């Protein structure tokens, strides 16, 4: 039997209905913040992802040659594609641009619970500005989305990668080592980070100061201990967030982020119920457009790991109820089947989701099927009632029945 490829999933109808429902909640929240949806191709020139991250990224993504010998890659994320799109055709639009997207990403990772090779991100990018209001807007949107989905236990941590970058630059850490150290700090692998730093000639005192910064966690008062311009910026950001009623975010200067395009504020959300793969959202401010042939433009964005946040909601016991069709039309005998077909068409024309027995089942079996597919009502079409232009409507949950005239049938579904 052929299975779907490792790290990918099929979504059956119940799951798909659930996913679409929550996706649309996220779309609506993004729209209330003035963001507009966009879509980019699933595959891109591989160079788009290599330019910033270097050729090693090719080991982590699905890169391939097409029949025209072009180097392509399935997108591992959407920030680079969205910035490419901005440089290609949107750079003259009024700023800031507020864009959101929902789509699948592909990473060649070792699959486990909450980590897939094909997964979905719901993300937003605010392009064209670099100030605390922009960062606050992105964080507030992410928090509103998490809340709108009904997730109860989550943690938002906000950091500033500029502080660490500055310290490492002042300590004269060679550029090629910088990303390596940041990645170790992101994974809290302090011993490895120390080895790289001391072999680059950086003294124990400086290393301690760097590690102390990554340990700076708490309310905005912890910023008093940091002597960097970025600390004042972060205070301003926290004040704006408070004004926007985002009060459940904490400062954590140890937030480093795995991707290497961030320059300033960085943030992450995690759901403790998820264990190892608990990060449900990540983002920050960056500048990428100049790498893709555009002018330098500052942006802020984030992406929610849609699969992970759904898992977290499930772990919290959130239940999604699938909805069956509104009406299931059951002809009582073969000689009313044509009439039943007319009735189901009439209901559908009025926007009522309606199904009909097309298996030529006997009435009792058809009713059983209506119940199995979760229909709200059965519309029973019998010869005697038809002579009076009527049908019987049965409420499938209570079993109550009533006779309804055909010309008022669609209105009886309350739509
Ligand atoms: P990221 O942190 O790499 O950031 O991914 C965002 C989210 O996608 C993660 O927090 C996680 O929930 C989810 N995710 C990542 N990898 C997997 C996986 N293998 N399986 C399931 N879920 C996964 C970005 O991608 C940035 N583009 C975010 C951003 C937008 N920054 C600025 N703008």
- Tens of pLDDT, residue by residue over 281-314, are 999 999 999 999 999 999 999 999 999 999 999 9
Query: CATH code at 345?
Result: 3.40.50.800
Could you tell me if 395 and 272 lie in one domain? Answer: no
Could you tell me if 231 and 333 lie in one domain? Answer: no
For the stretch 309-337, pLDDT in tens is: 999 999 999 999 999 999 999 999 999 99
Could you tell me if 163 and 264 lie in one domain? Answer: yes
Residue 8 lies in a domain: no
Query: Which residues face 106 on adjacent strands?
Result: 118
Q: Which of 248, 280, 315 is the last residue of a domain?
A: 315
Contacts of residue 363, Cβ cutoff 8 Å, sequence gap at least 6: 330, 332, 380
Residue 81 lies in a domain: yes
Q: Cβ(279) to ligand 1 under 6 A?
A: yes
Residue 6 lies in a domain: no
User: Which residue range forms the structural domain that includes residue 336?
Assistant: 327-413
Task: Write down the pLDDT at residue 309.
Answer: 98
Contact (CB, 8 A) for 95 and 105: no
Number of compact structural domains in the chain: 2
Could you tell me if 290 and 352 lie in one domain? Answer: no
Could you tell me if 292 and 377 lie in one domain? Answer: no
Q: Which of 290, 315, 340 is the last residue of a domain?
A: 315
Q: What separation in Å is there between the alpha carbon of 36 and the centre of ligand 1?
A: 20
Q: What separation in Å is there between the alpha carbon of 390 and the centre of ligand 1?
A: 56
Give the closest residue (by CA) to ligand 1 atom 20: 115
Residue 2 lies in a domain: no
Q: What is the pTM of this model?
A: 0.95
Residue 1 lies in a domain: no
Task: Write down the pLDDT at residue 415.
Answer: 55
Could you tell me if 292 and 348 lie in one domain? Answer: no
Task: Write down the pLDDT at residue 130.
Answer: 87
Could you tell me if 298 and 156 lie in one domain? Answer: yes
CA quadruple 180, 185, 188, 192: dihedral sign: positive
Q: Cβ(144) to ligand 1 under 6 A?
A: no
Could you tell me if 71 and 163 lie in one domain? Answer: yes
Residue 320 lies in a domain: no
**Residue 186: pLDDT band by 50, 70, 90 thresholds?**
confident
Residue 145 lies in a domain: yes
Could you tell me if 305 and 355 lie in one domain? Answer: no
Task: Write down the pLDDT at residue 47.
Answer: 95
Could you tell me if 365 and 296 lie in one domain? Answer: no
What percentage of the chain reaches a pLDDT higher than 70? 100
Average pLDDT over residues 67-93: 97
Give the closest residue (by CA) to ligand 1 atom 2: 282
Q: What separation in Å is there between the alpha carbon of 326 and the centre of ligand 1?
A: 38
Q: Cβ(61) to ligand 1 under 6 A?
A: no
Q: Which of 288, 315, 342 is the last residue of a domain?
A: 315
Could you tell me if 166 and 93 lie in one domain? Answer: yes
Q: What separation in Å is there between the alpha carbon of 181 and the centre of ligand 1?
A: 20
Could you tell me if 378 and 261 lie in one domain? Answer: no
């Amino acid at each position: 039997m052929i299975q779907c490829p490792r790290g990918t999933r099929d979504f059956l109808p119940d799951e798909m209905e659930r996913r679409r429902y929550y996706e649309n909640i996220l779309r609506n929240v993004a729209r209330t913040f003035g963001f507009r949806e966009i879509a980019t191709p699933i595959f891109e020139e591989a160079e788009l992802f290599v330019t910033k991250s270097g050729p090693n990224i090719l080991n982590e993504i699905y890169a391939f040659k097409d029949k025209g010998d072009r180097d392509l890659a399935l997108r591992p994320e959407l920030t680079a594609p969205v910035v490419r799109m901005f440089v290609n055709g949107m750079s003259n639009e009024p700023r800031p641009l507020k864009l959101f997207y929902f789509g699948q990403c592909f990473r060649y990772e070792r699959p486990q619970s909450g980590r897939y090779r094909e997964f979905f991100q719901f993300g937003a990018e605010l392009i064209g500005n670099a100030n605390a209001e922009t960062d606050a807007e992105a964080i507030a949107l992410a928090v509103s989305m998490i809340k709108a989905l009904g997730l109860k236990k989550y943690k938002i941590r906000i950091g500033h990668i500029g502080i660490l970058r500055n310290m490492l630059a002042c300590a004269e850490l060679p550029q090629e080592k910088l990303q390596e150290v940041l990645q170790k700090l992101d994974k809290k692998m302090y011993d490895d980070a120390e080895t790289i730093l001391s072999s680059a000639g950086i003294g124990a005192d400086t290393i301690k100061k760097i590690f102390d910064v990554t340990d700076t966690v708490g309310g905005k008062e912890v910023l008093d201990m940091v002597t960097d311009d970025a600390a004042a910026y972060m205070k301003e950001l926290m004040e704006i967030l408070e004004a926007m009623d985002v009060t459940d975010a904490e400062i954590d200067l140890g937030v480093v982020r795995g991707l290497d395009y961030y320059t300033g504020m960085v943030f992450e959300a995690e759901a403790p119920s998820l264990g190892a793969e608990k990060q449900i959202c990540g983002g920050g401010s960056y500048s990428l457009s100049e790498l893709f042939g555009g002018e330098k433009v500052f942006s802020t964005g984030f992406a929610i790991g849609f699969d992970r946040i759904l898992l977290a909601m499930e772990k919290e016991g959130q239940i999604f109820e699938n909805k069956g069709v509104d009406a299931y039309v059951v002809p009582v005998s073969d000689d009313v089947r044509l009439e039943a077909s007319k009735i189901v068409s009439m209901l559908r024309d009025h926007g009522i989701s309606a199904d009909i027995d097309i298996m030529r089942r006997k009435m009792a079996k058809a009713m059983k099927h209506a119940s199995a597919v979760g229909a709200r009502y059965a519309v029973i079409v019998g010869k005697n009632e038809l002579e009076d232009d009527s049908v019987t409507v049965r409420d499938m949950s209570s079993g109550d029945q009533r006779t309804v005239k055909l010309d008022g049938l669609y209105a009886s579904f309350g739509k």
